[in-house]
Amino acid sequence: MKTIIVTGASAGIGRATAELFLDEGWTVGLLARSADTLAAMSSGRSNAVPLPADVTEPEAVSGAFNRFLDKAGRLEVLFNNAGIFAPGGTIDEIALEDWYQSVNVNLNGMFLSAREAFRIMRHQSPQGGRIINNGSIAAHVPRPNSVHYSATKHAITGLTRSLSLDGRDFGIACGQIDIGNARTQMVQGLVDNAIAAGEQPDPTMAVEDAAQSVLHMASLPAEANVQFMTVMATTMPYIGRG
């Protein structure tokens, strides 16, 4: 039995990924705040484990991971995905509450989830597992007017590298997937904003293709790891962006 927890599983890349893994027969922990959505996703699927929790709350995250372990017996993969894109602007225009929320969800939430996964993977028998962090194109090259999002996503790259180094002695691999313009509700909002401003929106790609890339990373044998993967709409402005 293959097992995975997906954070941010109720929408966007997280939902597409969770549904793909469920279809592939994995036991999938669906972690997100929306209990009703998770219940609907789990309906009729014996391999779905709904884990309603807020990734910014340490006790809630710990409890969710422990409930999954009680149900599945083992955690092989974490797709550390939950994140937000708060209203943009130049740094003097970004509300402090939006900065704090971005750091709390995009960085603290991913730290807390990785911490629980690492703890479980270190102490389970046989030891080991895999953590896949959702970085973003913004982990390398920022979008305009997104200092809060870009700063947190750059931090995820440091988290990935540290986990990769510290996990070696325990058989824990860590990789990062940087996804560019998958058609999610968040990206659609950026497209709509561009159109409203009379600008040409960036090209997008099917979110299912991002999910397939996560499946590839998760399905590798323990001796192999995708350290960093970039998957994006072919003609989006990434090469030369800025």
The CATH label, of 3.40.50.720, 3.40.720.10, 3.30.200.20, 3.20.20.70, for the domain at 3-232 is 3.40.50.720
Residue from 149, 204, 210, 232 carrying the catalytic annotation? 149
CA–CA distance, 61 with 162 (Å, rounded to integer): 21
Cα→Cα distances 142→74, 101, 156, Å? 37, 18, 14
Please confirm, yes or no, whether 149 is among the known catalytic residues: yes
Where do the structural domains in the chain lie, given as residue ranges?
A: 3-232
Query: Across the chain, what does the average pLDDT equal?
Result: 95
Residues 102-145 have pLDDT tens digits of 999 999 999 999 999 999 999 999 999 999 999 999 999 888 89
CA–CA distance, 194 with 14 (Å, rounded to integer): 24
Residue 72: closest CA among 121, 32, 132, 122:
121
Q: Do β-strands 77-80 and 48-52 pair in parallel, antiparallel, or remain unpaired?
A: unpaired
pLDDT at 239 over 80: no
Q: Kindly indicate the confidence band of residue 240, based on its pLDDT and cuts at 50, 70 and 90.
A: low
Please give the single-letter amino acid code of residue 225: N
DSSP element (H, E) containing 50: strand 48-52
Cα→Cα distances 55→79, 141, 196, Å? 13, 26, 33
Decide: helix, strand or coil at residue 24: coil
